[in-house]
Amino acid sequence: MCGEVDAPRKAYEDRERKHLGPNATSSSDPQYTRREYDPYKPDDIRSEFRRDYTRIVHSRAFRRLRHKTQVFISPKNDHICSRMEHSLHVASVSQTIARALKLNEDLVEAIALGHDLGHAPFGHIGESSLNRIAGEHGFSFSHELHSLRVVDFLESPYDEHPGLNLTFAVRDGIVCHFGEGKGDENKFEKELHPDTKKAPDDLPKTRRGESLPATLEGCVVRWADKVAYLGRDLEDALNPEVGLVQEKDIPESVKKPLGLSAGRHINRHMIGRLVRELIASGKDTGTLSVPDDVHKALNELNEFNTNRIYRSEALERARDQVDRGMKLLFDSLLERLKAVHGNPNGLIDRSEDRRVLTVFHEFLTEGAEDFAEQPQEQLVIDYIAGMTDSFFRESFNELFLPTSVV
């Protein structure tokens, strides 16, 4: 066994001090590596941020992303993007930018893989449905803030503490990753710089789309999220089996600024162009931005995708179905939980043998110790938000559709 002096983590941190740029976040910086629960013994092998990466990639919430919608609900075509693929794409783009800017690659990878852990089934359609339901009960739901709740509370594989006990920098990057446009016109921001004055106590007060990441690595992931999904969503929509968009429909005004060229693999050209622009802007500046023409084209492409893809007739039909299904499932589970006065054991009825109730029981009994102190409406939202698309369907069928008796 190696001694402390020869430990790989120490050697890695020494290399960081030599090679990271002035705007990078050090893996040994106590401000950003702080964890909520102490005492906490460092790993002799992995850096603090690499340890977070490992905790995220082995979490159940991450595993479920492979069966959660990115844009197109439960596609039969295996090449349409899933939520897990999107997270891997964000990690890839983020790492490329971080390496070029001499930022902390372990930190961006951990944030990127964890940024969508709190996403609802059926993508943003499901997120909107859960937010409407939550609003009826006096709170709200967004996948950014819920991702923080997942890593801080809901994903609890350890006996010593609730949650994954991640570092401040990773938790901050997750809750501040916001990849959508803002305001009535749904516009992207042109530049990003970190809010270095933030502290862990600020995270629960995060304002969706307004609060800035505490690190430049967090800013990298926030930009990479946009870079990863805009072109890929368009590429999926161009797929003949989807058929929402044809290449001739793409506005000419966005093609040159974003490097879009002919062919069905246009996403790679767009990624290459945007990555180069972000790297060029971030050299020794501590700010990530894109030129005016690129920014204008990004917003035009986002508007195009919104009108032709995200608000297409096909997805709007799905929205109505998801809204009704979410409300029915929420009301049914809440009614059952109230009927047993919040006692999870009362959910198990041997005569019913319904998996949705068995898993709900496990969710309530194998999670954090203070689940009993949580509002029942919040717990039902938590449970539904963690479902995959397929498990949601299975649960709905079990509760609302008759089963064969012969």
Please check whether residue 222 is in contact with residue 213, taking contact to mean a CB–CB distance below 8 angstroms: yes
Please check whether residue 105 is in contact with residue 16, taking contact to mean a CB–CB distance below 8 angstroms: no
Spans of all domains in the chain: 8-117+155-311, 315-400
The token pair at 39 is 């005492």
Supply the pLDDT for residue 293.
95
Supply the pLDDT for residue 358.
92
Within 10 A of 187 (CB to CB), how many other CB atoms are there?
Answer: 15
Q: How many CA atoms lie within 13 A of 255 on its CB side?
A: 10
With 50 as the cut, is the pLDDT of residue 3 above it?
no
Q: How many CA atoms lie within 13 A of 381 on its CB side?
A: 29
Domain at 8-117+155-311: CATH code: 1.10.3210.10
Supply the pLDDT for residue 262.
62
pLDDT band at 350 (very low <50, low <70, confident <90, very high): low
pLDDT band at 2 (very low <50, low <70, confident <90, very high): very low
pLDDT tens string 103-129? 999 999 999 999 999 999 999 999 999
> What is the pTM for the complete model shown?
0.94
Within 10 A of 28 (CB to CB), how many other CB atoms are there?
Answer: 16
pLDDT band at 1 (very low <50, low <70, confident <90, very high): very low
Question: What's the whole-number mean pLDDT along residues 83-108?
Answer: 96
With 50 as the cut, is the pLDDT of residue 194 above it?
yes
Question: What's the whole-number mean pLDDT along residues 3-30?
Answer: 84
With 60 as the cut, is the pLDDT of residue 37 above it?
yes
Q: Which amino acid is at 401?
A: L
d(CA 352, CA 395): 13
Between these two residues, 135 and 5, which has the higher pLDDT value? 135
Question: 2-16, 34-48, 194-208: which has the minimum mean pLDDT?
Answer: 2-16
pLDDT tens string 239-268? 888 889 888 899 999 999 998 866 556 788
Question: What's the whole-number mean pLDDT along residues 375-397?
Answer: 96
d(CA 64, CA 83): 9
- Average pLDDT of the chain is 90
Between these two residues, 39 and 382, which has the higher pLDDT value? 382
Supply the pLDDT for residue 401.
87
